[in-house]
Homo-oligomer: A and B are copies of this chain.
């Protein structure tokens, strides 16, 4: 098979009847995107500038070599949203799922902790662990604005802890805007090694910038291959006409599905290694397209696990979902015949676990088709850096194309600003006294409180 194959039969009228789309429906939209694509490749969005991104590789390699000398045991990454989800996705796809349990974790294979929340319960447990080995801990702090309260509060904390270790300056690396923000001020003042988040690339489009590449390099992941996969995917999208172009077709289909009332876009990998990819997609689609009282809701689902949790709803529930399956033929395990006295187990004994895994996908997809639920299948030949880079870029382009179809700015997130202001007000930031009073009022309403 090819590296990535897409099968859209499951969304077509000929497969699922009137819940589906005709090829004409799709081509009408994809044809428009073809026009848009041509303009786009002349004046690309910042995230599409893979030449710029490639230019960071040498600087990343320099930092990698210098931290390598530390023979680190722990890598702590502070970042939230787009600053952590890409790294999480790469690590989850390419490292052992029980990586941190390996007693040989050190050097370019340290234990890693990605702190994407501020619940003190979890932060305290990470500190319990690294405090014993703080001389052997590398800290990567990631925030585009350099002001993110969650990341800054964590940094205040970890800075103090590392201060009492040897040569802390060598082990703190900062990724932030090249000019603005408090993190940049800190870099300028204290001289930490740092890399930029390139201008105009927001968090959710930043996985292939230093935001995702530097942490990956510190785990010895082949970042050059990640970028190469994206580059080749970009060339493919540029070159292939819309009727055979997976980025354009998927954008058109997902858009049309939303219009048709399939407002939930389920991504369901039959591949544990891609389960975090669904989290990454979830941010990308929700934050880019959830605007103007519109936008689909992305849903993460895991094959086969969620057959025993969500499938009932996908089959018998409302016709409001479109499912993207992702599968890949991975490694195998032979299922031995441990209970020869049970003939009813013959369909499992002596078989390959990977065949059962694939059979469950095929069986589920068939039942989904018979329930007339639209579905797409993506098949990946191998989970490696190259294909992962290609998938990242593919979905970034799908969302960019969808942004055009919805006629919105896919690159901002104005809706989250208000909550940030209120948070700062509660924390006592000056000038926000009015907002603080509003929250105090919220806390005083007692009428409907019910207790156990």
Contacts and interface: CB of A to CB of B under 8 A. Distances in A.
Contact of A342 (B185, B203, B279): B185
Contacts of A203: 308
A338 B427 contact: no
A349 B156 contact: yes
A286 B313 contact: yes
Contact of A427 (B311, B320, B359, B427): B359
A339 B139 CA distance: 16
Interface in A51-95: 80-82, 85
A193 B122 CA distance: 36
Given A117-B272, A291-B312, A308-B203, A355 B427 contact: yes
A28 interface: no
Given A283-B309, A442-B362, A189 B448 contact: no
Given A3-B452, A120-B357, A348-B153, A316 B290 contact: yes
Contact of A182 (B97, B249, B286, B344): B344
Which of A81, A330, A347, A438 is most buried by chain B, counting CB atoms within 10 A of its CB? A347
Contact of A297 (B101, B155, B320, B331): B320
A390 interface: yes
Contacts of A289: 313
A315 B415 contact: yes
B366 A442 contact: yes
A39 interface: no
Contacts of A349: 156
Contacts of A4: 451-452
Given A12-B448, A122-B97, A316-B293, A428 B286 contact: no
Nearest to A148: B308
Interface string A131-170: 0000000000000000101101101110110010000000
Contacts of A294: 317-318
A245 interface: yes
A199 interface: no
Given A294-B317, A427-B355, A245 B160 contact: no
A433 interface: no
Nearest to A4: B452
Contacts of A330: 119-121
Contact of A423 (B81, B362, B445): B362
Interface stretch (A42-50, A210-218, A220-228, A298-306): A298-306
A364 interface: yes
B312 A297 contact: no
Given A80-B308, A439-B366, A348 B415 contact: no
A9 B445 contact: yes
Contacts of A365: 442
Nearest to A250: B450
A340 to B, nearest CB: 11
Contacts of A119: 270-273, 330, 357
B97 A125 contact: yes
B293 A342 contact: no
A100 interface: yes
A380 to B, nearest CB: 10
Given A7-B449, A331-B120, A353 B313 contact: no
A197 interface: no
B81 A308 contact: yes
Interface string A406-439: 0000000111101111111111110000000011
12 contacts: A7-B448, A81-B305, A97-B122, A118-B357, A150-B360, A157-B338, A282-B310, A286-B317, A297-B299, A311-B416, A348-B427, A363-B426
